[in-house]
Every structure is written in structure tokens, then in C-alpha cells.
Structure 1
Amino acid sequence: MTMATRHDLLLQALQVYSQGEIAARCGKDVRTIRRWKTDQSCPRIAEAALREMLHTSARKALAESRADFQFIDLFAGIGGIRRGFEAHGGQCVFTSEWNEFSKKTYRQNHPDADHVHEFIGDIVSFAEDAVPPHDVLLAGFPCQPFSIAGVSKKNSLGRPHGFECTTQGTLFYDVARIIDAKRPVAFLLENVKNLLSHDKGNTFRTILEVLRDELKYDVHYKVIDGQHFTPQHRERIVIVGFREETEFSFDDLRLPANGPHLASILHRTDGSEPVLPHDGERFFDPVRRKVQPKYTLTPKLWAYLQAYADKHRAAGNGFGFGLVTPASVTRTLSARYHKDGSEILLAQGEGERPRRLTPRECARLMGFPDDFVIPVSDTQAYRQFGNSVVVPVMHEVARIMTPHVKALLEEDREPASTEVLLRA
């Protein structure tokens, strides 16, 4: 825990409590609290008190909101997974995201992360015991290589948790250690489709061994293509687990057979484009009814991409740009889209150079509503949406998970949400 992080805790507490209340809880006077805020010198001794105050605040908010369940949001990005579970009665009580630009976007669109619950940076150095009780763990964890080691061999050596050896040093390990410590009713993990085949399947096999054999969860997984909900071919693996055996099945998903086309997310030039105060004229000129010219490729870049595609086509390779029309379904939007936009270039008419999608169009392509604020540069916005989830997919998975979460909470003599309220 760095000094800056403790200062962040203080600032979050000051969003909810008065300086006098914090002073009384920390055994200090108001002048000391004021000095901590000004000098950014909050001491380690105050950390436990500040955390407890923030947890109490979250518990109070949960009670007042009458949420059906509580969840934590790990590797949160800009909050795409979270939105699906909030839509089905959940409330976030803890968030972790290390990227400063993503944190800015997350805070802008989820203001409770500043004052209702704790919002930390890197989860790797965060103690699992300090994570608040929760019913569902959400994590869009990055895929990292890790080696395989026999669980039975480690058990014979007296090592109680094999995943500490098989996965330590990877970000999946941090998910596993929190599940192990807090035992949530359920979890949802999201990753790229290639997780299934990484290292000849060994990586995914290890993940399942940890979740099923060591942590003892009832685990289900499925690759879901986002094009059922948005005009983008985007396959991602979703892993769902429950603390007890349930009748959960991905067969209950309602996946539209015919998804939308690109026209559904493009800026409308017929005068019907909504005016978004938080966008202004950044992406679209409402007077001229045109996308801002900066999104059209320069002659130099367009010539380069065409020559690059011709070169690989002549060599028999499939590399090249992806030229689309309003009737298309696009390739997968990537975090590198800001570089040249080559995977999704929108044709603009005969004799015209194509253009990139604007960040607002990328937000729509990922299923974010138009009230989602984009407070960062175009470069950072492209990276964030390219790394995000298709939000309607998360809505649908949350829809079929939620009844099983509620059922397990009702069966549990001391469900996590009740524990939290009783401790308040």
C-alpha cells in the first residue's frame, strides 16, 4: 500500500464523511485530517479506519438501494461487465483497475466509485482479506502465459493450494486467491477466445483445474459472438462458476439469429443524429451533418494501406484492411485501432477515401449507450473500447446467472449480502 493510495482512501472518505467524523474514527483532531489532505501525508495507521468507513458507507448504500446482490469489479476497464449486472439488480461494492486513463472514464460514468465504495489501482499488491464481502466476482482478466504443474505432486509436498504454484505471477492468480479467500456465491470471468487454445490448451486446462478441483466451483464456459447484439464479429469466452451445483446452462441464452448491421451505430446524416452535450461537435458536425474530417484517412495513409494489402495479396496472404459499408458486420475492434484503423474502414463513396469509426461509433459498436461519457483523447478511447466487452452480451449472461445467484443466497444461512448488513 503506497502513501498515494492511502491518500486516495482519505479523499474517497471525505466524499462521504465530514472531517470531524474521520478525525473521531482515526483518533485525531480535524486539523490533522486537514493536514493529511493538503500534504498528502495520510499515515499507515489510518488505513484500517478509512477502509472500514468506506465499507460501512457501501453497506449503507446497499441497504438503502435494496440491491438483490453485491459484486466486485476486477480488471474493470471502463465498466462494461459491470453494466450488465447492475441492469439485473446488482450493486458494485469494490472496483480495481490499474490504467489511469481507464480509471478516468470509469469514474466519469460510475461516480459511486469515488464516494460509495473503494476504487483501487493494481489488484496484485492488494491483500485479499481487505476485499469486502460480495456475492459475485466479475473479472475481465488479461491472459498471461503460465506453466503447468501437477496438483497431486504439489499436494504430496504439503502445499495446500496448488494454484499458488501453477498460476502465481499471473493475473489469474489474483482472481483465484480472492475467490479462495472470500468464497463468493458466483463469478464471471471473460477473456479472448484464444484462451482455449493457448499453449495447446494447457493454460485453459489449468484454469479449469483451479476453479473446479481446487476451489470447488461448479464451472461452465462458452464462446459467445458479439455480432448477435452489435454489428461486430467479436468472439469471447465467458466462464461462469457457482459455489454450489446449480441448473445453470448457457443454453438459456437468448441470442438473436440476425444481428444488426453497421448502419445502426453510424452517425446519422439525415438530421436525426442525437445531440449529445458531453460530445459537442467533437465527433460529428450537426450543422453540416457530417462526421468531422479528421476521421477520414489521409492520402498518404490510404495509399500505404492499399500498397500493403496488394503486397500480401500477391504473396497469397490474407492480410489487408477491412473495408465496410453500412450493410456490413465488422471485424473485431482492437486496441490498436487508433494506429491506422485498418481493421474497420468505412467506405464513403466512389472516389472518396474511407474513414475510421469515431470513438462514439466505437462505443455504440461495443453496446455502450449514448449517455456514456468519453472524457479521454481519441487514442485512449479507441484503446478502451478495443479492450472492452460487448455490453449486451454481459446483460444477457447476467440475466441467466441472476436467478441462480438469488436462489443460492436464499438457501445460504448467512449469505454475503446479509453478513455485510449485519456487520454495519
Structure 2
Amino acid sequence: MSRNGPLGFYEFFAGGGMARLGLGDGWSCLYANDFDPLKAATYRANHADAADHFHEGDVWKIAPEALPGRADLAWASSPCQDFSLAGARKGLDGGRSSAFFGFWRLVEALNAQGRAPRTIVIENVVGLLTSHGGRDFEALCRALAGQGYRFGALEIDAAAFTPQSRPRVFVIAAREAEGAAASRCGFHSKGVLEAYERLPADLRAQWLWWDLPAPPARNTDLAALLEPDEAVSWRSEADTARLLDQMKPLHRARLAADRERTVGAVYRRTRKGVPQAEVRTDGLAGCLRTARGGSSRQSIVVAEGGEIRSRLLTAREGARLMGLPDSYVLPKGATAAFHVVGDGVAVPVVRWLAEHLLEPLLRAETTAAAAE
């Protein structure tokens, strides 16, 4: 890689290629992988050069020789279900999240060949920090340290960039990080601080307090990303009434029909065997998920002019909440589309991380190496 040329990266558990979109034109994808046929098809539909570098299949079956060159970055958004705070908390022993070690054996092999990625980003749900009392996070940090990486973590909520509440943990590791910033920032959440404190002393000594600036205030809300009222299908009055009946008084009061237009996002949950509808009217959608993650598709409610209407969130609206352009090709059918976008990483978060941390770090290291 030259100082001014594109930065090369591998993208594991690539899904529909959202991390690639966030990294942008200054990056060149050397290799990408996902085992899910639907996600693989979506990746190919949105990246014309996929035939050159995309591999569909189990990460455990990838040979290190299949990975070309030495990447500046390896991005891994490994399956999160076993880390989820709402799940059974199987942690790194869980069947899905253990896919991480399929990725990690490749890093170990590349390191043995003298071509380990210069940086690594591991993106996951915030439950990664606390799974098994923090032991899973410690195991991850020890794996990184064992291959010569220093590391730190940031908790970033996509709500800072797009109107969706989507907190995620980004563990960033670098092999050449002596000159990296070492100050704490607003993305060092309470969860990150507590995870750091739980680490043994030898791992805390390898920790880096990555400095990522706060973005400008978000200037869009949920309502701004929705389709026009006349372009979507609305539920019947009876179905909307049933939805409202599932709301507790506090939530129902947020939709007072005599106010100005109020737009809300609704989750339907079951608490102690009783179905409940929970609405938020703060301009944010709840976290997009897939049916496999155990959450139902979100609804939109609009209270205006003495009337309350409701409908399902459309797949295109879900894509917009992930920061995807309307030109992004979605699978046909809402269930399939949400399977892709609900498992992805928010594009503007990746772009901010790349612009303000990864690119300066890697460019500075390249410049320093060239001067030696």
C-alpha cells in the first residue's frame, strides 16, 4: 500500500457488504466472505466486482492461502446471537458466535506467514462486554494480545448518525499502535470502562483508549425517512385499535390524537406471557433486528387530526435507517430484506470510524515506515 493509494481490507461475515459501503472509495476489498446464501446474493447484487473477491461459504473452510496479500484491515462482524443480552448468553461457546474462531484461525495463520492484518475491527452487540461475566471479552482480548495486537473498545450508537437506536461495540486492534492516541472519549461508555476494569493487569497493559470525536448533531428523525402516507398500506381501524389496546397507559398517552402530527415506532413484545406494544416518539426507531433474533418487525404509528393510524415499517425504510442509499438493491420480500439489513452494521458509523480513526492511523504508520 502506498501513502496515497487505497487501503486494502478483508471483510468477514460480510452480509450485504455494509461495512464495505461505510469504508468507502478510499478502500479496496481484497476478500469478502459470508455463508448465508441470501446475504451472499445481496452482496453480489450491490457490488459489481464481487466475482473477483467474494467467497460464499463457511469461514472454517477458508484456507489462509485464499486471502491475497497483506490487508491493512480485517473487519469481522461475527454472528451476535449468542452475545445478545436477550439471548441465552452462550457466549463464545455458542454455535453461531464460535464462528469468530473460524475467522481467528485465519489471522493466526496469516501472522505465522508474516502477513497479519495491520488492524482489526470486531463489531458486535454490547452483550459482548459482559457475556459470561466478562470472560468472553477477556478471551477475545487475550487472543488479540497473543497475536501481537494492542486493542481498545468503543461503544457507538447508530442514533448519533441515523434515527435508529442501535448500540454496538467496536473492538479495534492494531499491531503498530505506539503513536495512537491515548485519551478517553465519549464513546468509552460505562460498559466499556467496566469491561476494561475486569481485565487482568497484563491485558490492561495492552489496552488503547482510542480517541474518536463526536459527530455533528444528527439533523434527521424517523419521520424524515418514511415513505409518503399515500405510498404505503395502512392497517384497518380494527387492527390499529388492537395494537393500541396492547399499550400501557404511559405509551398510549404518547399518541394523544389531538396534538400535532406525532410519529412513533412500535415494538410488540411478550412480557410474562402478555403481549404488549411499546411505542417511542422521540424521533428514533428501535433497533432493527431479524426474525431469527426473536423480535417482530416494527410498526409505525401516526397520530394526527384526531386519528391514529398504524402500519408496518417497510424494508426500504429499514434500509434507510441503516444509512443505505435508495439505490441499494434489497432482496424481494420484507422478511428477506430485514434478514439482511437487520443483521448489518450501520453505514454512517463505519464511515465515521474509518475517517476519524482507521484512516489517520494507517496513513500515519505508512508515512512513518516510508521515512525510515
TM over 0.5: yes
The letter of the residue matching 2:283 is S
2:168 to 236, 250, 265: 236
Cα distance, 1:377 vs structure 2: 1.7
Judge conservation of contact 1:188–1:238 (CA < 8 Å) in 2: yes
Residue aligning to 2:335: 379
Tell me which structure has the larger Cα radius of gyration.
Answer: 1
Aligned letter for 2:286?
R
| Contact 1:78–1:106 under 8 Å retained in 2 | yes
Change (3 A) 1:218 1:356: same
| Other-structure match for 2:104 | 176
Segments of structure 1 that go 5 or more residues without pairing to the other structure are 1-61, 149-165, 270-289, 414-424
- For 1:360 and 1:216, locate their aligned partners in 2 and report how far apart those are by CA, in whole Å: 42
Aligned equivalents of 1:391, 1:320: Cα separation in 2: 31
Residue correspondences, number: 306
Match of 1:360 among 316, 330, 345: 316
**Aligned counterpart, 2:192:** none
- Please tell me whether the aligned partners of residues 180 and 210 of structure 2 are also in contact (alpha carbons under 8 angstroms): no
Q: Give secondary structure in 1 for the equivalent of 2:31.
A: strand
Change (3 A) 1:308 1:94: same
**2:365 is matched with which residue: 385, 408, 413?**
408
What amino acid is aligned across from residue 322 of structure 2 in structure 1? M
RMSD: 3.4
- Displacement after TM superposition at 1:78 (Å): 0.9
Number of the residue aligned with 1:97: 34
Contact in 2 for aligned 1:338/1:378 (Cα 8 Å)? no
1:77 corresponds to: 15
What letter corresponds to residue 236 of structure 1 in structure 2?
Answer: R
Which letter does structure 2 place at the counterpart of 1:139?
Answer: A
1 CA distance for matches of 2:235 and 2:96?
44
Read off the aligned partner of 1:332 and give its amino acid letter.
C
Question: 1:258: Cα distance to partner?
Answer: 4.7
Please state how far the C-alpha of 1:393 moved relative to its aligned partner: 0.4
Is the aligned partner of 1:292 residue 2:292? no
What SS does the corresponding residue of 2:9 show, helix, strand or coil?
strand
Identity %: 28
Cα distance, 1:412 vs. partner?
4.9
Matched, 1:346 2:282: no
Alpha carbons 1:138, 1:187 under 8 Å: kept: yes
| TM-score, reference length from structure 1 | 0.64
Distance in 2 (CA, whole Å) between partners of 1:169 and 1:309 is 35
CA distance in 2 between counterparts of 1:366 and 1:102 reads 15
Does residue 204 of structure 1 match 2:129? no
CA displacement at 1:303 relative to structure 2: 5.5
1-structure distance, mates of 2:133, 2:316: 38
User: Alpha carbons of 1:297 and 1:83: their partners in 2 closer, same or farther (altered >3 Å)?
Assistant: same
Change (3 A) 1:235 1:391: same
Task: Between 344-353 and 388-397, report the one with greater CA deviation.
Answer: 344-353
Relative distance call for 1:236 and 1:81 in structure 2 (3 A) is: same
User: For the structure 1 residues 353 and 338, does the alpha-carbon distance in structure 2 shift closer, same or farther, using more than 3 Å as the test?
Assistant: farther
Q: Are the counterparts in 1 of residues 247 and 278 from structure 2 also a CA contact under 8 Å?
A: no
Q: Say if 2:11 and 2:74, in contact at 8 Å, map to a contact too.
A: yes
Query: In structure 2, which of residues 148, 156, 161 is the aligned counterpart of residue 224 of structure 1?
Result: 156
CA-to-partner distance for each residue in 1:58-104, whole Å, 9 max, x for gaps? xxxx99xx8421111100011111112224x1100111011111111
Q: Assess, with a 3 A threshold, how the Cα gap between structure 1 residues 405 and 98 changes in structure 2: closer, same or farther.
A: same
**Matching residue within 261, 265, 272 for 2:221:** 261
Cα separation, 1, equivalents of 2:58 and 2:271: 44
1:62-211 matches, cutoff 5 A: 67-87=5-25, 89-114=26-51, 116-133=52-69, 134-143=71-80, 144=82, 145=90, 170-182=98-110, 183-211=116-144
2-structure distance, mates of 1:169, 1:236: 15
Deviations 1:271-301 (A, max 9, x none): xxxxxxxxxxxxxxxxxxx2231xx345675
Q: 2:283 aligns with which of 312, 317, 328?
A: 328
Residues 237-252 of structure 1 correspond to what in structure 2 (within 5 A)? Answer: 237-245=169-177, 246-248=179-181, 250-252=210-212
Structure whose residues are more often helix by fraction? 1
Which residue does 2:325 correspond to in 1? 369
Residues in 1 aligned to 2:275 and 2:127: alpha-carbon distance in whole angstroms: 19
Change (3 A) 1:239 1:175: same
Name the amino acid aligned to 1:193. V
Q: Which runs of 5 or more structure 2 residues have no equivalent in the other structure?
A: 83-89, 111-115, 182-208, 252-269
User: Which has more strand, going by share of residues?
Assistant: 2
SS in structure 2 of the partner of residue 124 of structure 1:
helix
Name the aligned partner's letter for residue 61 of structure 2: S
Q: Residues 197, 233 of structure 1: CA spacing in aligned structure 2 closer, same or farther, 3 A cutoff? A: same
Q: CA deviation at 1:175?
A: 2.3
